[in-house]
Chain A
Amino acid sequence: MAVDNEPRETFEDVDWDDIDETTRAFSRKTIVTIGAYMLFAVGLLYDYVLKPPRADTIEPLGISLQALDWLYILTLLTILVGVVVPLYENGRMTRYYWQQFRKNRAAVASLIYLGVIFLIGSIGPRFLEQPTVDPSNAYQPPVFTSAPNWLPVECAGEVAGGSCHGTWAHPFGTTHEGKDILVSVIYGMEVSMQVGLIAALITITIAAIVGVSAAYFGGWIDAALMRYVDIQITFPTFFLYLMIVYLYGGSLFSMIVIFGLLGWGGIARIVRSEALQRREEEYVLAAKNAGASGYWTMRRHLLPNVSNSVITAVTLLIPSLILFEASLAFLGLGDPTVPSWGEVIASGRSDLPNAWWVSTIPGIFLFFTILAFNFVGDALRDALDPRADGGDK
Chain B
Amino acid sequence: MATYILRRVAWAVVASVIVLTLTFLLLYFTPDTQLAELQFQAAQAGDDPEAIGAAYESYHGYDQPIHVQYIEYMGNMLSLDWGWSETRSQPVTTAIAEAIPYSMMYAVPSVLISSVLGVAIGLYSATNQYTRGDYAATFFAFFGLSIPDFWFGIVLFVLFSGMLGWVPIIFDTTAATFSLENLAQFILPIVVLTLSSIASLMRYSRAEALEYVEAEFVKTAKAKGVGDWRVLTRHIFRPASVPIATILVGDLLGIILVSSYLIEVVFGIPGLGTLSFEAIMNQDTSLVMGTVLLPAFLTIIGNLAQDIAYTILDPRIEYGDS
Contacts and interface: CB of A to CB of B under 8 A. Distances in A.
Interface residues of A, number: 39
B214 interface: yes
Given A331-B277, A345-B154, A363-B151, A374 B142 contact: yes
A2 B281 CA distance: 90
A230 B146 contact: no
A155 to B, nearest CB: 23
A391 interface: yes
Interface stretch (B97-105, B171-179, B235-243, B257-265): B257-265
Nearest to B299: A236
A156 B239 CA distance: 64
A320 B258 CA distance: 12
Interface in B77-132: 129-130
A366 B292 contact: no
A359 interface: yes
Interface string B142-185: 11011110110011001000110000000000000000000000
B258 A231 contact: no
A115 B303 CA distance: 38
Contacts of B146: 319, 367, 370-371, 374
Contacts of A248: 30
B151 A359 contact: yes
Contacts of B58: none
A236 B163 CA distance: 37
B276 interface: yes
Given A326-B148, A375-B142, A234 B214 contact: no
A254 to B, nearest CB: 14
B215 interface: no
Contacts of B143: 371
A390 B142 CA distance: 16
Nearest to B265: A331
B148 A247 contact: no
B19 A239 contact: no
B148 A331 contact: no
B280 A366 contact: no
Contact of B19 (A235, A247, A374, A392): A235
A230 to B, nearest CB: 7
A205 B295 CA distance: 28
A364 B148 CA distance: 9
Interface stretch (A9-17, A129-137, A348-356): A348-356
A333 B214 CA distance: 49
A330 B142 contact: no
A239 B162 contact: no
B23 interface: yes
Interface string B284-322: 000011001001100110010000000000000000000
Contacts of A330: 150-151, 262
Contacts of A247: 26-27, 30
Given A345-B154, A352-B154, A356-B158, A235 B277 contact: no
A246 B150 contact: no
A327 interface: yes
B30 A366 contact: no
B142 A239 contact: no
A210 interface: no
A333 B277 CA distance: 10
Contact of A349 (B18, B130, B147, B154): B154
Contact of B142 (A231, A333, A352, A371): A371
Contacts of A235: 19, 296, 299
Interface in B251-288: 254, 257-258, 261-262, 265-266, 276-277, 280-281, 288
Given A236-B254, A371-B146, A332 B281 contact: yes
A242 interface: yes
Contact of B280 (A319, A327, A333, A360): A333
A323 interface: yes
Given A230-B15, A319-B146, A243 B151 contact: no
Main DSSP-derived SS at the A contact region: helix
- Interface size bucket, B side? 35 or more
B132 to A, nearest CB: 16
B288 A367 contact: no
A363 B257 CA distance: 22
Contacts of A356: 158
Nearest to B29: A247
A242 B30 contact: no
Given A243-B26, A247-B30, A353-B162, A345 B142 contact: no
A352 B158 CA distance: 7
A359 B154 contact: yes
A238 interface: yes
A319 B300 CA distance: 25
Contacts of B261: 238
Nearest to A351: B158
B15 A234 contact: yes
B190 interface: no
A242 B292 contact: yes
Most chain B CB within 10 A, of A234, A242, A352, A390, is at: A234
A272 B265 CA distance: 39
Contact of A370 (B148, B262, B266, B296): B148
A323 B148 contact: yes
Contacts of B213: 391
Nearest to A368: B146
Most chain A CB within 10 A, of B158, B254, B288, is at: B158
Interface in A257-284: none
A360 B154 CA distance: 9
Nearest to B16: A234
A243 B154 contact: no
Given A230-B15, A239-B292, A366-B148, 6 more contacts: A236-B258, A243-B292, A330-B151, A367-B147, A370-B147, A391-B210
Q: Which 3 pairs show the lowest CB-CB distances between chains A and B?
A: A371-B146, A363-B151, A352-B158
27 contacts: A231-B19, A234-B299, A236-B254, A236-B296, A238-B261, A239-B257, A239-B295, A239-B296, A242-B276, A242-B280, A243-B289, A244-B26, A247-B30, A248-B30, A327-B262, A331-B262, A333-B280, A345-B150, A349-B154, A352-B155, A353-B162, A353-B163, A363-B154, A366-B148, A367-B147, A367-B148, A370-B147
Interface of A: 230-231, 234-236, 238-239, 242-244, 246-248, 319, 323, 326-327, 330-333, 345, 349, 352-353, 356, 359-360, 363, 366-367, 370-371, 374-375, 378, 390-392
